[in-house]
Chain A
Amino acid sequence: NAGVTQTPKFRILKIGQSMTLQCTQDMNHNYMYWYRQDPGMGLKLIYYSVGAGITDKGEVPNGYNVSRSTTEDFPLRLELAAPSQTSVYFCASRGDRGGEPQHFGDGTRLSIL
């Protein structure tokens, strides 16, 4: 029962480097989300998707891009890493019914130095 899988679990990047955070889910969920969580703070929504081919910005999208070519995968791209992007990144998914909760991956801890 994999649920939501994120890779990598940890990564250190240099300023200006790029990388892709991977997220995949095996629950056939249409809704997927990317959040970031800074130390001692709440979750902030970066991007979300309501189905394959459909994505939209959350509250903190600057510096990130996403794609959703399949139902299962929702990668998050950092093009020019900046120290302000040091954070823990969580991917989540949920089913279509209104009362469905979100299921989270176990996070990617990213440091930009």
Chain B
Amino acid sequence: RKEVEQDPGPFNVPEGATVAFNCTYSNSASQSFFWYRQDCRKEPKLLMSVYSSGNEDGRFTAQLNRASQYISLLIRDSKLSDSATYLCVVNMITGFQKLVFGTGTRLLVSP
């Protein structure tokens, strides 16, 4: 089993749609979780951290389910500019703290 797994997509949605991505992780001792966004041929950029109680930043909502070992990202009112690859990142505790990146979920928002 991969340490962090994501559906690669692509998710094709129209502008204004709501879309959700899930990400599962294998290490139950993981402490920190993040969503990054990566545009084509660019560096990954932090979108938001994921807190135990869930958190929201504008149109973006992140949730953590420790019992089932997954995190989710919900995007409301999708914009064309949301088209990107979304990377799930988990801080694994394996002797030292290691951030493990998922391979990403591609989102395409069309007019």
- Asked if A pairs with B, the answer is yes
Choose one: A31, A100, A106; the contact of B43 (CB below 8 Å): A106
Q: A70 contacts the other chain (Cβ, under 8 Å)?
A: no
Q: How far is the CA of A33 from the CA of B91 in the complex (A)?
A: 14
**Cross-chain contact A102 with B103 (CB below 8 angstroms):** no
Residues of chain A with a CB closer than 8 A to B98's CB: 48
**Cross-chain contact A98 with B42 (CB below 8 angstroms):** no
Tell me how many residues of B have a C-beta within 8 Å of chain A: 22
Which residue of the partner chain B has the closest CB to A104?
B43
Choose one: A48, A88, A103; the contact of B41 (CB below 8 Å): A88
Residues of chain A with a CB closer than 8 A to B96's CB: 50
The proximity string for B residues 97-109 relative to A, scoring 1 for CB distances below 8 Å and 0 otherwise, is 1110111100000
Q: Tell me the smallest distance from the CB of B40 to a CB of chain A, in Å.
A: 10
Q: B46 contacts the other chain (Cβ, under 8 Å)?
A: yes
Choose one: B43, B49, B87; the contact of A107 (CB below 8 Å): B43
Q: Tell me the smallest distance from the CB of A27 to a CB of chain B, in Å.
A: 14
Q: B72 contacts the other chain (Cβ, under 8 Å)?
A: no
**Cross-chain contact B103 with A98 (CB below 8 angstroms):** no
Q: B34 contacts the other chain (Cβ, under 8 Å)?
A: yes
**Cross-chain contact B44 with A105 (CB below 8 angstroms):** no
Q: B12 contacts the other chain (Cβ, under 8 Å)?
A: no
Residues of chain A with a CB closer than 8 A to B102's CB: 42
Q: B31 contacts the other chain (Cβ, under 8 Å)?
A: yes
8 other A-B residue contacts (CB within 8 Å) besides A90-B44, A101-B89: A41-B103, A98-B97, A99-B32, A100-B32, A101-B34, A102-B99, A104-B44, A109-B41
Q: B45 contacts the other chain (Cβ, under 8 Å)?
A: yes
Q: With A101-B46, A101-B89, A104-B43 as given contacts, are A42 and B101 in contact (CB-CB < 8 Å)?
A: yes
Q: Tell me the smallest distance from the CB of B108 to a CB of chain A, in Å.
A: 14
Q: A43 contacts the other chain (Cβ, under 8 Å)?
A: yes
Residues of chain A with a CB closer than 8 A to B46's CB: 101-103
Interface positions, chain A 58-113, Cβ under 8 Å from B, are 88, 90, 94, 98-107, 109
